[in-house]
Structure 1
Amino acid sequence: MKRKTILKIVVDIGMTVMLLFLMTYELIGAAAHEWLGVGMFVLFITHHILNRKWSQCVFKGRYTLFRIWQTTLVIGILLTMVGSMYSGVILSEHALSFLPIKGGRAFAREVHMISAYWGFVLMSLHLGLHWSMMMGMAKRLVKELPTAGKRLLRGSAALIAGYGIYAFIQREIGQYMLLRNHFAFFDFEEPLIFFLADYMAVMALFVCVSHYFSKGLRYIIQTRKTK
């Protein structure tokens, strides 16, 4: 495996882990949240530098259904990242407190919330775009599983995604995405691992949705080609 490919994988894993911990906010403290946000921004820029060839080809070539879906997600993620960074700078009381910025905190708080929760969902969907590729890499490292093993993994994935639906509703993520709740509520008596487990399940849900939706788009494209 090439060094650049390994670096891409490390950056993507880092972004995924940071994304999950960023959603914990008050459970890890405001200072830790802000520094994680700075780290996320650095990895986001690094990710785009490593994948700059894709960006250079945005206005080139034909747009298939899958490419439209992929590009829409990328644009959405970019917008949420810009919103998160803009609002994060204004709201910062630790990592960027030295900046002479005053006012606009109420609006910034709303922008930060909607950007954070939409960003979480969109990044999870984006991860699903590349799930087949990641599974392909895993197959190179692990011997071919027997049929029973494959069924067990698929069944486990279905159960986790199913629980993700419950967690999505229970954690009121949709309410935050639509700004029906203007403040995020946290149970400080809840173990952090339980919170992370729920958000991992929600992430798995959207990874599955995107993975199978993308497979459907590719199937449609392939069917059209054969006609």
Structure 2
Amino acid sequence: MDLRIAIVGCPNVGKSSLFNRLIGRKVSIVDSEAKVTRDRVEESFQLDKKNFILIDTAAVDLDSKRKIDIKAKNQTQAAVVSADTIFLVIDGKIGFSHSDDSLFRWLKKFNKPITILFNKSDTKEAKTNSEEIKPSLKPIISLSAEHNLGLEALHKHLQDFLQQKKKIFQSNVVPTIEAQIKISIVGRPNTGKSTLINTLVGEDRLLTDDLPGLTRDSVIVSWKCKGRRI
């Protein structure tokens, strides 16, 4: 059984940069524009010969009443519910903001282990801000996803977490590529690609709306049909 990790955070804290860094390739779109990621993106990676599933999520705006933000929040909530543990990413240059605190309290409702990742920690401001965080919010790991700093501490944290969950991984089996059918769904804007996928998998897996260009990332969706992994 793979350990599932949901990466959650406010807009522009570096969630997608961290996601790409951990899986070792650029999958999620990284941009200075806020709220680029809308659907949850799942990819697997290995650490110490153990398998992890990493979930990049849309930035959560708990106060927004916009339909697109509510749908994005629902996508993030689905990722959190399915995860074994949560990485709450904070912008180290800004520090633990009111929005971060609200998001932390929201995540606590799901009763999942939460690790705070102080991203962009290669600055003097970040070091000062990390020292001011309440002890009750720990564990805290300072890192810089963009500059590949502090990842060793994060890897060590994951390995320690694995030791606590050792029984879960005793029957860990890596699925073979040969056992899977791969399908690419391609089309022009607003032709119903995401709606088709949601219908096939039987859940609101991807955001749908009349707005063209809603899906931005290349999203891998896995489900079973008649016992076959697709």
Task: Specify the TM-score bucket, using the shorter chain as the normaliser.
Answer: under 0.3
Greater RCO, 1 or 2 (C-alpha within 8 Å, sep 6+): 1
TM-score normalised according to structure 2 size: 0.23
Higher-Rg member (1/2):
1
TM-score normalised according to structure 1 size: 0.23
Higher helix share: 1
Higher strand share: 2
